[in-house]
Structure 1
Amino acid sequence: MTIAPEVEHPAAWLDVDGAVGVLRLDRPPLNVLDRTAQRALRLAAEQAASDERIRAVVVHGGPTAFSAGGDIKEMAAMTHAEMVGHAAVLQAAFDAVAAIPKPVVAAINGPALGGGCELALTADVRICGTEAWLGLPEILLGVIPGAGGTQRLPRLIGPAKAKELIFSGRQVGAAEALEMGLVDYVMPTDLVLDSALQWARRFEKGPALALHAAKTAIDGGLATDLTAGLAIERAAFAGLFGTQDRIAGMRGFITDGPGRASFSGR
């Protein structure tokens, strides 16, 4: 187990389970993401990114709540000037999760609202329980999502659906979230974490550098136009030809058939 330094009782911490890092939110009952939790989240995400033992990451809030979002009492006391500075800290925490150069899956039970939903959006895949619900209700507080919701949600489900959810502040259950593409899998609550771990463990012996390159190309391409995106892909593709993973993968294919390579991760 690895616990984020600088935080005596962290609201978020990294648990290393073999080749899987489980980034656990631990501020019961609803995992509210106050400033302390945001700092702990960033530290844990940075640890997950740099730990070479970890090939994939699960973000989990526990069996009853993923995260109900930011601390409204804390934010209500902030002035405009204070929030200008805090907004950068807030986004940095979520950007650290999005920047983990490994496959990331969010295991969602209970509410994933506001900042909790935005945290789920930083993952590559979202698995949620049948009793989960998601939404960006910030508009009902006279503000808008400030940790990536207005940017990541439209890229995931399209601008029209994203605007409907953000403009209304409406929350959706698991079935509707699956239908609109907000989550990728729905299953019984007690199977969510195990399913997320099973998904993550598929990459335990996979080509780590190629997975990193694929994630970088996809995410980088989404942030730009097609021409620039193709240039990102081209550079990432060519760059892999200098790695042991590419040599092992192609040699294994030629001699033993698909899926027979032994990858080093270097």
Structure 2
Amino acid sequence: MGGWGQAVSLDIEERGDRLVVTLNRPEKRNAIDAEMVSALHDVCARLEREPRLLLLTGGSEGIFAAGADIAQLRERGRLDALAAINSAIFARIRALPLPTVAAIDGPALGGGAELTYACDLRVCTERAVFGQPEVRLGILAGAGATHRLPALVGEARAKELLFTGRRVNAEEALRIGLVNRTVADPADLLGTAHGLLDEIAKASGLALRLTKLAVDAPPGAHPQLDLVSQAVLFEDEEKRRRVTDFLDRKGR
């Protein structure tokens, strides 16, 4: 893993413009435990210092993440809830400087689903399943689903899913906007996700960062944030080069 220590709950591959992070607790169906949360914080710290694209996947075992580790969850009390163990890392992933893509094969349930919502885009196989079963365990989906899911699929549909714990298959997920793309063959999942990132990587890095900030900003930040961001980009040398290249190609 080259400089990443002993984060055995994650496999990390470094590529030139991106990190590929694979959840690695197959014996626990990639349940999100304290060690994985800590390892994800290390990943975020690196990407905050050295911004790159992120591809997050559950590997090839037909499971993305079965949620929080239930054994650990049973022992947590109110102070653990207030510590925002999962919600803090998911918020940190959401706030990463450059776009993130989750590649989902098989179930993404509870905290596993919320981890995918924290990413900017989602690609899944036809055997992917999403669900928020928390209310059936006597808790709520407290790591982002109550506000990220309505933003993705609309308030009424999100409430239905949160109130009932009903699972959503890949076909429905694509139809309601929960995922961006689906693939029939699991062998094509990572290639499709990398292809999406390849398209994103063609853009100006600064334009991507400021676009992500603008999209994720609260409504009250607009249009002022857009104006300031555009002012910064208009003075950027990368913008001048790209526009000049475009005009040169058009004039040929």
TM-score (norm. length: structure 1): 0.87
Write the letter of the residue equivalent to 1:101: P
Name the residue aligned to 1:113: 109
**Equivalent residues in 2 for 1:1-266, closer than 5 Å:** 1-2=1-2, 4-5=4-5, 8-29=6-27, 30-52=29-51, 54=52, 56-63=53-60, 64-85=62-83, 87=84, 89-188=85-184, 189-220=186-217, 223-225=218-220, 228-257=221-250
For these two proteins, the number of residue pairs brought into alignment is 248
**Contact 1:97-1:122 within 8 A present in 2 as well:** yes
| Cα drift, residue 238 of structure 1 | 1.0
CA-to-aligned-CA distance 1:174-226 (integer Å, 9 cap, x gap): 11111111111111222111110111122334310001111111111xx234x
Distance 2:34 2:68 in 1: 9
Q: Runs of 4 or more off by more than 4 Å in structure 1? A: none
Write the letter of the residue equivalent to 1:83: A
Note the residue ranges of structure 1 that are not aligned, 5 or more in a row. Answer: 259-266
Distance 2:80 2:229 in 1: 40
Distance 1:124 1:247 in 2: 28
| Cα drift, residue 49 of structure 1 | 3.5
**Contact 2:47-2:97 within 8 A present in 1 as well:** no
Note the residue ranges of structure 2 that are not aligned, 5 or more in a row. Answer: none
RMSD: 1.8
**Contact 2:129-2:170 within 8 A present in 1 as well:** yes
Distance 1:160 1:246 in 2: 41
CA-to-aligned-CA distance 1:52-71 (integer Å, 9 cap, x gap): 5x3x2211111211111101
Write the letter of the residue equivalent to 1:110: G
Q: Are the structure 2 counterparts of residues 168 and 131 from structure 1 closer, same or farther at C-alpha, using a change threshold of 3 Å?
A: same
CA-to-aligned-CA distance 1:135-167 (integer Å, 9 cap, x gap): 111111011111111010001111000000000
Identity between Structure 1 and Structure 2 (%) = 34
